[in-house]
Structure 1
């Protein structure tokens, strides 16, 4: 999440409102205030905010329910709500152009990632390095060297973006400075390839998963292993932290998803029901739902509290390779080997909302634009495509790669797209 500072002072005998902080996706306003000499924060979720919301009425409702919001700051609250509403417009008429082509590595790429602002991106490669790029200029900022085998997984510690985590086929993960490229620590312990890595949102833990059928938690400050998550009987190829950092889920080739408490390192739930290998798993924003995709041609949606299956999504006729929630967690997108992507209603009846047809080969990656009005897909047909998430109509074809496009991503603001290809290049679209 990204917060934008807005400062307002509220004089009361016991509390003083310091500032409003805006969270764009999902929309929210944090009230930072001082009480008893201590700074505290209260988050107001605004998931119902839309481009059609009457912001004056919403501001009045917030002021009536929230003592910190007094009449004197309501005009500034309305201004802040308008800013959030503008972000939700999603720049729906924006047409993307290829602004830069990054000729990144001598050997094929494995993965790419933006920082939170979209100012830098990472590329991992079979050449055993990770590179950091300036997306405005296309300049290589630094090369992270040290791994002894393929660098398969790469990520920033957003929203801070001062550290980078890489996972490698050399059975290690490494923690790096995003500014200098210095390796802070090498995370040892896995006995097979490390294929997924993630920082928790609070950025004090990292998670790694491996083909050795385990996942591990490491302390960022010390680089020391905190716990090994045992229980899977097949390779662990996906892991995701919940936003509060208290849980982590792992997806495995043993057909199951494990749910773990990061505070105790105990498995608190296991999601069984898929008939073949898991390809991905993730939480929705508020952590109430877990989604999973599988080579069994289905996706599933699970209740995080009861670990029970709420729905099995069966609209594809081949393997489901990737999934993505929109920012509200009300819609789920699926990508399949059958050359289509679909959007499903997971808020009420799990029905098919839109089907994206047009790719000539398998769709390997899918993601919503930050405001949710567009869907981005990557395909082995050497293109990425932008789709209207309501109608399923193709808005734009992003072409120019000369080999499979295996990854794509929006920047946080939705105004930049990155596509990565087996042609050893990344393209930046603005």
Structure 2
């Protein structure tokens, strides 16, 4: 396991570059995101460990980060002051753009996976999701419907005009960008939902994680009840990700200080519990280039990169 320590910065999100297997980013905040500034850390990993390539400061906490799908140097962060920042790792002077329309904290940002497009989603505590084209100064559309904080916004990896959002109102919504409306509303939990993600192998399958400590896997063709319910965390689930290499495998991290690995196709779905943090674990991602490698970050001021023992000998899915 490789560890990078960022003193006085508490990790909120970590994501590995879609271009470079060694490059990763962490969005972090001072004072646990309650007060102070935020820092974007751009890191590189090698056999010797993890080293800092560049860091950028913002005057409010940073809560999420996403890499551009078009340019290996460009990243986007969401901040506590309601703004979205576009950064260039080759330009140390500050953000290329600052987008400011949200009226409260931006807790989620996600770049469209369609190469050649510069489309971005931002989800906010103001109950809205905004769609941005980074070649334009104003948002293209504001999606309204959630009755609580929007904690998570994720583009579908299968349908280019579709995304999902998860909210403090307990619902998972699936949106049609062309129509500007949510075409499906799932009352997924009787609690705030903090994270959602799409299966990389099936356009109809998503997972949600909530304050009720449970993960639920959903099939959009039949939403009366979840396909699977994964129990084991003892506090709220902060973030979860489907594996890019296995159809039914996913990871979750929680305020219970753990990261857990699951396979929802098995009778006993919990494969492993990792207890290598001493504070809330908030950031989580799989490496698209190195099978089964995971990055996470926590409020204990560390970023960790590793391959879980339960996945060490697991071969990538054939399809």
- TM class, shorter-chain normalised? 0.7 to 0.9
Match of 2:315 in 1: none
2:261 aligned with 1:386: yes
Q: Secondary structure at the match of 1:419?
A: strand
2:279 paired residue number: 403
Q: 1:275 maps to what in 2?
A: 147
Aligned counterpart for 1:303 among listed residues 163, 176, 179: 176
Corresponding residue for residue 344 of structure 1: 218
Whole-Å separation in 1 of the counterparts to 2:98 and 2:44: 33
Query: Structure 1: where are the runs of 5+ without partners?
Result: 1-99, 146-165, 171-191
Trace 1:222-261 onto structure 2 (pairs within 5 A).
229=99, 231-244=101-114, 245-261=117-133
Deviation at 1:270, TM superposition (A): 2.2
The corresponding residue for 2:314 is none
Give distance in 2, aligned partners of 1:102 and 1:219: 24
1:351-371 CA distance string (max 9 Å, x none): 521111011111111000103
Give structure 2 stretches of 5+ with no counterpart.
31-38, 308-319
Q: Distance in 1 between matches of 2:156 and 2:14?
A: 22
TM-score by length of 2: 0.76
CA shift, 1:205, in A, is 6.1
Instruction: Tell me: CA distance 1:242–1:121, structure 2 relative to 1, closer, same or farther (3 Å).
Output: closer
Instruction: State the structure with bigger RCO (CA 8 A, min sep 6), 1 or 2.
Output: 2
Q: Which has the larger radius of gyration?
A: 1
After superposition, residues 102-251 of structure 1 pair within 5 angstroms as 102=3, 104-110=5-11, 111-116=13-18, 118-123=21-26, 125=28, 130=41, 132-138=43-49, 140-142=50-52, 144=54, 166=56, 168-170=57-59, 192-203=60-71, 207-215=76-84, 229=99, 231-244=101-114, 245-251=117-123
Q: 1:331 to 1:383 in 2, by over 3 A?
A: same
For residues 352-411 of structure 1, what are the alpha-carbon distances to aligned partners after superposition, in whole Å with 9 as ceiling and x for unaligned?
Answer: 211110111111110001033201011122221111133571122223433332222221
Does residue 239 of structure 2 align to residue 357 of structure 1?
Answer: no
User: Taking structure 1 as reference, are residues 318 and 354 closer, same or farther at Cα in structure 2, changes over 3 Å only?
Assistant: same
- Offset at residue 273 of structure 1 (A): 1.1
How far apart, CA to CA, are the structure 1 residues paired with 2:223 and 2:240?
Answer: 18
Q: Distance in 1 between matches of 2:124 and 2:141?
A: 14
Structure 1 residues 236 and 132: alpha-carbon distance in aligned structure 2, compared to 1, 3 A threshold:
closer
Structure with the higher fraction of residues in helix conformation: 1
Q: Deviations over 1:76-111 (max 9, x none)?
A: xxxxxxxxxxxxxxxxxxxxxxxx252523335314
Deviation of 1:332 (Å): 1.3
Q: Rate the CA distance shift 1:194–1:131 in 2: closer, same or farther, 3 A.
A: closer
The root-mean-square deviation of aligned C-alpha atoms, in Å, is: 3.2
Question: CA–CA distance in 1 between the matches of 2:82 and 2:171?
Answer: 23
Shift of 1:135: 4.8
Residue 295 of structure 2 is matched in structure 1 by 418
Q: What is the CA-CA distance between 1:326 and the residue it aligns to?
A: 1.6
| Inter-partner Cα distance in structure 2 for 1:206 and 1:144 | 12
Aligned position for 1:85: none
Whether the 8 Å contact between 1:367 and 1:409 is mirrored in structure 2 is yes
> 1-side partners of 2:276 and 2:96: how far apart?
45
Q: Distance in 2 between matches of 1:224 and 1:297?
A: 37
* Structure 1 residue 124, shift from structure 2 partner: 5.4
Conserved? CA contact 1:129–1:143, under 8 Å: no
